[in-house]
Structure 1
């Protein structure tokens, strides 16, 4: 049943905690491949059609990012120095336009909440460049896209596009490129295209694409592998989540010019099984320091995985943006992502919505620092801003309350 037929019957989301109670060695269970874009059937997934559309458009959006990023490199493979952010701007607006155009064709009645509007593109004479990258990746149409088509698509998700009011709302949430600094840093830094669907106020599905994600050779998590006995490294990742169906991932090898052995192989993702805070692997915002986090009153931090002392925690290397940290927790690579809310910084819905469902469906937990769920409707007008009390805490679930108690004791 698709969303247009069923949104009025949507019930409250309940997330299942599927992770083991303690760290376990890597285990695999091989399952038969189904002839579907998704790892589960439409009988099990209420929003199967919506998720298939989201997967398709996020994959194409990732191709925009990869193609535009190639323009940053010289023939010798070095990053070309530029005096402005033109490449990331073209990719950012191109992704928003593409996603808006494609989703509006299939689900015209569902609005979009997204990061950009077209004013910057218009004022900096970038319209033709954005139209070019969108035209290359858009689905076939009888008539070519015009500048007006693309600008209108961008503004469909922009500020003041729609007023939602106090009633529960249904809408898409898009971050066209989360981690723009990473986009410009080169092949090693991560960036994410993130898309979620909110139905009557609850997140029901999400898709994250990270073209330069590198698969760890091993880490403490439990996975199911569907359709592949070996996972090529350095292949990028596409992560999907659907309420009640879990979080799954597969490779984006084709984006990097590498052919995956089994292109449709899906891996079931679970958070890690760490049950002691000192043993957890932490991520923090790249704009914040460990000393700004309340847990610094209990532990110092080190990035040396081989030399963590009794009074230290392991702080994983900084990666740009928030969504890649959600991706790390949902995949079991990190145990905790902690973000402090600051008076001078606005926390945006698109930086968190898709990450929340991916972590929840992988068995983790996301709250503010007082233990309350993140309220997507706190911005009653436009659904663009979040107001988590003190900050956002993303964990594997097992150590969530322990960390909340530590935060409370330092307040």
Structure 2
């Protein structure tokens, strides 16, 4: 895989998908359907998925591709693959809360090594460069010309006053009980993979997720956090969160700046 080409293609496709998503988001009405797992899906999910899938297959025809909206891809048996969530945070989209993202990532040998997270309604875009370090690009965005980028880096965590970010739509009592084990200065909530990016930029120190997620929900944000010096580990034993698991389902996990002294489950 030629990383420079990959990053260029991922960035362009994320912006094009973001434009399509925002066109539907800003319309008077859009159709919301329910998938077999009871989660919502919209025409924006499907349009963005078609656009990104076609672009990635055209650019990298020999690379396996996993996307949320193509269920047959879930049976893929590979440790190196491209993985896409065309619209992460569909509930945020449906409720017009803005915290939704386009996620595209490359997993190599079970590790997310390159990725992009674009939040079109927030005007924020985070991605790994060809060298693997992470940046935030500031808009306005042009799909053919890279704008000003700023390297991002995790915080030097103060364990006596941590900043915690948790899910906006999925926060529960178990999550609160775990967060209460830490000395927390402040906490915030965010939707979609933006939570990884808030840890990557140092806006938060810790993001615990005690709930169901799939690999396409996390791979791009995980790659961005890796490139900013952060870590993502399993909640149960604090070993690295790996990819290419059966049915692409994640266990509970913790994303954090390495200075955070993790508490036991």
Do they superpose with TM above 0.5? yes
Q: In structure 2, list runs of 5 or more residues that go unmatched.
A: 34-39
Residue aligning to 2:19: 63
Structure 2 residue 183 is matched with structure 1 residue 326: no
Contact 1:237 1:251 (C-alpha < 8 Å) held by counterparts: yes
Q: What is the CA deviation profile of residues 26-79 of structure 1, one whole-angstrom value per residue up to 9, with x for unaligned ones?
A: xxxxxxxxxxxxxxxxxxxx511111111111110111111111103xxxxxxx
TM-score by length of 2: 0.86
Structure 2 residue 249 is matched with structure 1 residue 385: yes
Q: What is the CA deviation profile of residues 124-156 of structure 1, one whole-angstrom value per residue up to 9, with x for unaligned ones?
A: xxxxxxxxxxxxxxxxxxxxxxxxxxxxxxxxx
Contact 1:211 1:252 (C-alpha < 8 Å) held by counterparts: no
Deviation at 1:169, TM superposition (A): 2.9
**Do the aligned partners of residues 160 and 332 (structure 1) sit closer, same or farther apart at CA in structure 2, a change above 3 Å counting?**
same
Deviation at 1:162, TM superposition (A): 6.8
Rounded Cα–Cα distance in structure 2 between residues aligned with 1:164 and 1:298 = 38
SS of structure 1 residue aligned to 2:23: helix
Deviation at 1:164, TM superposition (A): 3.7
Deviation at 1:249, TM superposition (A): 1.4
Residue aligning to 1:314: 186
Contact 1:281 1:313 (C-alpha < 8 Å) held by counterparts: yes
Deviation at 1:337, TM superposition (A): 0.7
Which structure has the larger Rg over C-alpha atoms?
Answer: 1
**Do the aligned partners of residues 179 and 49 (structure 1) sit closer, same or farther apart at CA in structure 2, a change above 3 Å counting?**
same
Q: In structure 1, list runs of 5 or more residues that go unmatched.
A: 4-45, 73-79, 117-157, 214-235, 256-261, 300-310
Rounded Cα–Cα distance in structure 1 between residues aligned with 2:221 and 2:146 = 24
Residue aligning to 2:36: none
Rounded Cα–Cα distance in structure 2 between residues aligned with 1:204 and 1:296 = 28
Rounded Cα–Cα distance in structure 1 between residues aligned with 2:214 and 2:72 = 15
Residue aligning to 1:18: none
Structure 2 residue 229 is matched with structure 1 residue 359: no
Coordinate RMSD, CA, aligned: 2.5
Residue aligning to 2:264: 407
Structure 2 residue 165 is matched with structure 1 residue 279: no
SS of structure 2 residue aligned to 1:105: helix
SS of structure 1 residue aligned to 2:42: helix
**Do the aligned partners of residues 290 and 163 (structure 1) sit closer, same or farther apart at CA in structure 2, a change above 3 Å counting?**
closer
Contact 2:113 2:132 (C-alpha < 8 Å) held by counterparts: no
Rounded Cα–Cα distance in structure 2 between residues aligned with 1:267 and 1:193 = 20
Residue aligning to 1:212: 121
**Do the aligned partners of residues 336 and 58 (structure 1) sit closer, same or farther apart at CA in structure 2, a change above 3 Å counting?**
same
